[in-house]
Structure 1
Amino acid sequence: MIQNIILFLLMFLPFLVFFLIRPYSNKSKTSVIPKSYPIIGSYLALKANSHRRIQWLSDIVLASPAATFTLRRLFGIQSIFTANPATVQHILKNNFPNYRKGDIVVGTLSDLLGNGIFNTNGEDWKFQRQVASHEFNTKSLRNFVENVVDSELSDRLVPILSGAAARQEETLDLQDILQRFAFDNICRIAFGYDPQYLNLSFERSDFAEAFQEATEISSLRFREPLPFVWKLKRALNIGSEKRLRIAVSQVRQSANKLVREKKKELHDNSSLGSVDMLSRFLSSGHSDEDFVTDIVISFILAGKDTTSAALTWFFWLLSKNPRVEKEILKEINEKSEAPVFDEVKEMVYTHAALCESMRLYPPVPTDSKEAVNDDVLPDGTAVKKGTVVTYHVYAMGRMESLWGGDWAEFRPERWLERVEGDKWRFVARDSFSYPVFQAGPRICLGKEMAFLQMKRVVAGVLRSFRVVPTAADGVEPEFISFLTSQMKGGFPVKILQRKV
């Protein structure tokens, strides 16, 4: 009874606030910048745009002076959003010690991520980054491409696509397929464990399903204007928080089982050595199973959702831009039947096309830091201690000042220049104008691994198949974001055998 009363009051509060301020509100909706009121700040605008939060904040930031905006929330709390490269450099590099994973982010994600690398600071973060960095040398990358990715591609992904092409009328959710592919990949390379999530005839992976649900519900906590709502639901063990508790429990049990089995494997075979990331962590002297479990969960999150999100949007953009697809096919056909490590690295045009796709649809569209002390940003914005500062990657990919008047076009050539006749040379942008992989001390360790994996998938798929979205012409998929971006409702496609 008490639970129902509390929930009723929480649901009624926004309507009460609306009617209290309605007589004083400005009815004009022409301005992009949201109205702010005493006590509630811009709560009403935030609530009204919760279904398109990323796009709404992007519009505001791009319309703001110096591409920086201070959003006033309930009870005087302020958050700062920016798409200014100088400000991004300031918080990610120049004044890095002052901008950390703050209490809000850490507390919101702690049930799922614990003290994993993406949810911690200081010595714990340094240790995890140092140990993980050994997994990204040339030998490991070559092994990843030539063994893990190639076998997953040839033994599972290509047969699934071939079957769909043979049945002609079958529709596949390519987003789901790519998520399964990436989940298998990261588990195999990082932990020496094959969940066979892409093997559709194999028993459904409870681990992967629970991981997906835990990720989505955890991210929804950030959309709640009143954090005490989800905290109360967690305390009462009701609704989405009850589902999250069950999902996290399943995830942690599965991850902990991986850790225990790897510890036993290393104990029984001391000559095995550090053949994967999990072995490296366990061999580093850290035997706390909970801590190593946090590490496992964080790296699955990094490897599963980012590359699959990037590839999902890439294949959609390619279907709308046949000219670009033709150029990529030309590059693929210049390589051997199955591109090996060195050849995949040389796929320059494909690399540029992937960068261009992630500019428009970044796998992680926003990222937040919390100020340890008072500060002033390069554009003059004052930052008080404890303020959350978010750099808006999605908005930065839409800045005319960075990408020109044709920023809305999918044009890989903006990343390239001609050399030696018809050959291309890739021209990278600085990581503070293009922070898709973060920048500064926290720049993504797996950046090169991600590109190699994606290029190998692109080559393996496009060599034999055409990916045709089933949506009607002119209907664009909806960009949404949990901890990483997705297509709302999946990416339904038909697979057609490519004619020689």
Structure 2
Amino acid sequence: MELSSISTSLFFIILSFLPLLYFLYLHQDPRKQPHAHGLKSYPVVGTLPHFVKNRDRFLEWSTGVVKRSPTHTISFKGLGLTAGAITANPANVEYVLKTHFANYPKEGLISLAEDFLGRGIFSSDDEQWLWQRKAASYEFNKRSLRNFVVDSVRFEVVERLLPLLEQAAGRDGRTLDVQDVLERFAFDNICRVAFDDDPACLTEESMATPQSAEFMRAFDDAQNTILSRFLSPAKSLWRVKRLFNMEPERRMREAINTVHTYTERIVRERREKGGAGLARSDDFLSRFSQTVPWKGKEEASYR
């Protein structure tokens, strides 16, 4: 009986707040509302329901929403979500990342990926970001690096991607998961350009080493976990899950260990080659290593 009366009291208390919430929703400043084409904003929760509903197909869903927007940009704000915007407009990208980068600090977003990315160019601000950007811009403007990128991509296309597609279209007749194929294609290219390592993920399973396959799966797990952290209505819920070793944070811990072990092995092997080995390589790790001396540096600092 007592429990029933408490429940009834709570119900009427919550019910009494509904008119107030509705009033605030109707009279909030429209200039502060996210102008999200295709995203209906709900009272209190904002655009959160859209993110929850499409969390398992976020890339496909967000691409469609952005395409429908006249400005190719959508903004969002919802209960528990960090307010922000998604854009595919080149002018906006240049404005945020170049023209007025200082006005768009990552702040709380850094902690979502710091355990995986460290304090690299994608998860840093201010001076730490600036010197990394200058170093990257300087190297990417060199003809030798551009040629290395072109050669790496050409090899992957001619020797692996096209033969795979031809086999599927011809006598093989098998069905290909295009998203999976393109992810493997991109991953091989990134590894070759970043540290001149070929995981061969686009080749037949028998040709890719177990370590490479595990590395790719771990990298994918880490990315998906970071996305789930960002989409979580409770901003610190992932910290609780990590503390109690719950999914997906348990898988994230294992993925980080796999990725770091793999990359530190590459750095250690490159370090053992010395200056002569670095001079013969055009990948980004070798170029960065020549810019920043090895002495006094641990492998982990180059991840």
How far off its partner does 1:212 sit?
0.9
Q: 1:36 to 1:124 in 2, by over 3 A?
A: same
- Residue 187 of structure 2 contacts residue 216 of structure 2 at CA under 8 Å; is this kept in 1? yes
Deviations 1:2-59 (A, max 9, x none): xxxxxxxxxxxxxx99x94696587xxxx9642333xxx4376456545476559958
Identity, % of aligned positions: 31
* Residue ranges of structure 1 left out of the alignment (5+ in a row): 1-15, 294-500
* Residue 128 (1) aligns with residue 135 (2): no
Q: Following the alignment from structure 1 to structure 2, what is the Cα–Cα distance between the partners of residues 125 and 198?
A: 33
Shift of 1:278: 0.6
Tell me what 1:178 maps to. 182
**Which ranges in structure 2 are unaligned for 5 or more consecutive residues?**
1-9, 23-37
What does residue 266 of structure 2 align with?
258
- Structure 1 residue aligned with 2:299: 289
Structure 1's 50 and 227: CA in aligned 2 closer, same or farther, altered over 3 A? Answer: farther
Structure 1 residue 207 displacement after superposition? 0.8
Q: 1:169 to 1:50 in 2, by over 3 A?
A: closer
Please say if residues 102 and 126 of structure 2, whose CA atoms lie closer than 8 Å, have aligned partners that are also in contact.
Answer: no
Q: Give the aligned length.
A: 262
1:135–1:276: 8 Å Cα contact kept in structure 2?
no
The residue aligned with 2:239 is 231
Stretch deviating more after TM superposition (159-168 or 277-286)? 159-168
Normalising by structure 1, what TM-score? 0.45
Kindly report which structure 2 residues correspond to 1:442-481, keeping only aligned pairs within 5 A, or say none.
Answer: none
CA RMSD between the two structures? 3.7
- Is contact 1:144-1:189 (8 Å) kept? yes
Name the TM-score, length of structure 2 as normaliser.
0.71
Return closer, same or farther for 1:169/1:57 CA change in 2, 3 Å cut-off.
Answer: closer
Q: Which amino acid aligns with 1:71?
A: K
| Pairing of 1:415-434 with structure 2 (within 5 A) | none
Paired letter, 1:194: D
Q: Which amino acid aligns with 1:138?
A: R
Opposite residue 248 of structure 2, the aligned amino acid is: S
Matched AA of 2:261: Q
2:242 maps to amino acid: R
- Please report how far the alpha carbon of residue 243 of structure 1 lies from its aligned counterpart in structure 2 after TM superposition: 0.7
Change (3 A) 1:240 1:20: farther
User: 1:165 matched to which residue of 2?
Assistant: 169
Q: How does 1:197-276 map to 2 (within 5 A)?
A: 197-200=201-204, 201-202=206-207, 203-204=209-210, 205-266=213-274, 269=276, 272-273=279-280, 275-276=282-283
CA contact (8 A) 2:48 2:79 kept: no
Q: Contact 1:164/1:172 (CA < 8 Å) preserved in 2?
A: yes
Deviation at 1:86, TM superposition (A): 8.5
Q: Please, which of 99, 102, 119 is the counterpart of residue 97 of structure 1?
A: 102
C-alpha distance in 2, partners of 1:82/1:174? Answer: 24
Deviations 1:82-126, CA, capped at 9 Å, x for gaps: 769997776545543232221x21000112111111111233322
Which has the larger share of helix? 2
Distance 1:57 1:162 in 2: 30
Q: 2:147 aligns with which of 138, 142, 147?
A: 142
Provide the rounded CA distance (Å) in 2 between the counterparts of 1:114 and 1:258: 17
Cα 1:277/1:234, change in 2 over 3 Å: same
